[in-house]
Chains A and B, each alone.
Chain A
């Protein structure tokens, strides 16, 4: 009785001290990777600044950050290669998004077939394993021969690059629904379609989202290749136009724009994942 009466105040007295001390250092430790990342960015930028200011490389190879910033403003306000930076970005973004939508419509069902039907898996596996390791530049000429140089070909090239990551991660996600989850649902009278809709699809959703993240990475990678031929707009097209005339600052502007978009989408999809499937990280 006396022990339990005296114990809690003691504990309460000692706890806040320990917690305050621990909180400071653990908050710092948690953010340490972010600090390290900021350090890397600052170091690269500083090195770039110094290298161009000291003339370690001629400006045509390494334009200064100021010149790149000026080129960026020119591209945004006046435009470069027939369009403003915003219009180039919109064209590229449109292609990547169209490709993503088209790929989702095909690759998600294909992922379900891979996971649920051994025969379907046998039929589709060779195709996926054939496509998966191919570099976009290798099949781009063939796509142009078959489908011409229109917008469809560009979207198709990006879609092909996105297909395998989404199909494979969908299949993985469908497989993550447990046998007892499926059987229990069936015993409550769920039809096959209902099991698909209410058990398999939600179970697969987190994997589908990470598949989309990986696919978007592949999509941005493929973008420049797809805009190599007969494009009149797009970040990839802008980069190549600038490169032909050795306008290096504009090349860098294009590269930074692509990387900003890719990074933005990565962050966006991580947030969507966290919001949409908090349970997937709790099991």
Chain B
């Protein structure tokens, strides 16, 4: 069983005047394969920095980031990232974008396009394989971004507000799609979001971060996503008293510091 673990990881950047800005302090977090951890927090709480550490884009100033006990030394194919603004490559068509991680591994054209076709079915984009990116909608492009990350066959899927730029209707449908794709891939997921509902619905566990410096304030297990995957309706789940209560509790947790200031 694979394990992505941050152990008392801190992160500071040098600032003007010889000082430094502390972005994260003593963050400890464990993500197992098959888990879906959602991260909430106000802007500046270090959510993206947390993801950058997990992905290996930056190294912790102190503490450690480990996969199965081995320290992470940089980005790697075991931790695929999905960004909010689509990080797709416009000079490739839709299918070659999804197949891009396979191309990096040296998989031949026929084989990688065949694998891509399966992923197109998984994200409901069959028939769009040969289209150019500018012929697709924002929601379709985001689905490509997710399919592409899955194509890398990662142990962990790291997502920085992947649905943030979508309209509300598309976003709801994409949440359900994301859960199915995640379940099918068996990967561990880390998803950063501003939407409390999204965090509650998608996560098997939710983490709330507090700012100045960024640290983990609250961590709670959730069961809405597993119940959705067992057949419960998304709208019914989101209307449950338990869901609403959890939502209010998290909103209060996110804004606790704000109210203390005012």
- A residues sitting closer than 8 Å to B (CB atoms) are 178, 180-181, 183-190, 194, 198-199, 202-203, 205, 277-280, 282-283
Contact = CB atoms under 8 A, between A and B. Distances in A.
Contact of B83 (A184, A190, A198): A184
A86 to B, nearest CB: 38
Contacts of A205: 91
- B contact residues, range: 20 to 34
A187 B158 contact: yes
A278 B90 CA distance: 9
B76 A282 contact: no
A187 B80 CA distance: 5
Interface stretch (B98-106, B120-128, B191-199): B98-106
Residue among A180, A185, A187, A278 facing the most chain B CB atoms (10 A cut-off): A187
Contact of A189 (B90, B104, B133): B104
Interface of B: 55-57, 74-77, 79-83, 85, 87-91, 100-101, 103-105, 132-134, 145, 148-149, 152, 158
Contacts of B105: 189
A183 B152 CA distance: 14
A181 B158 contact: no
B90 A283 contact: yes
A279 B92 CA distance: 9
B91 A183 contact: no
Contact of B76 (A183, A187, A198, A203): A187
Contacts of B56: 187
Contacts of A277: 91
A184 B81 contact: yes
A181 B89 contact: yes
Nearest to A277: B91
A277 B91 CA distance: 7
Contact of B133 (A186, A194, A198, A279): A279
A184 B87 contact: yes
A198 B104 contact: yes
A188 B100 contact: yes
Contacts of A279: 90-91, 132-134
B31 to A, nearest CB: 15
A184 B87 CA distance: 7
A205 B101 CA distance: 21
B87 A282 contact: no
Contacts of A278: 132
Contact of B87 (A178, A190, A198, A283): A178
B55 A202 contact: no
A225 to B, nearest CB: 38
A281 to B, nearest CB: 10
Nearest to B78: A189
B9 to A, nearest CB: 18
B104 A190 contact: yes
A180 to B, nearest CB: 4
Given A194-B104, A198-B100, A186 B57 contact: yes
Nearest to A202: B91
Contacts of B85: 178, 180
A188 B91 contact: no
A280 B133 CA distance: 12
Nearest to B79: A187
A12 to B, nearest CB: 25
B258 to A, nearest CB: 29
B90 A186 contact: no
Given A198-B104, A279-B132, A282-B134, A187 B81 contact: yes
Given A187-B75, A279-B133, A202 B100 contact: no
Q: Which 6 A-B pairs have CB atoms at the shortest separation, nearest pair first? A: A189-B77, A188-B101, A180-B87, A279-B90, A184-B87, A187-B81
25 contacts: A178-B85, A180-B85, A181-B89, A183-B55, A183-B81, A184-B148, A186-B57, A187-B55, A187-B77, A187-B149, A187-B152, A188-B77, A188-B80, A188-B149, A189-B76, A189-B152, A198-B89, A198-B104, A205-B91, A278-B132, A279-B91, A280-B90, A282-B132, A282-B134, A283-B90
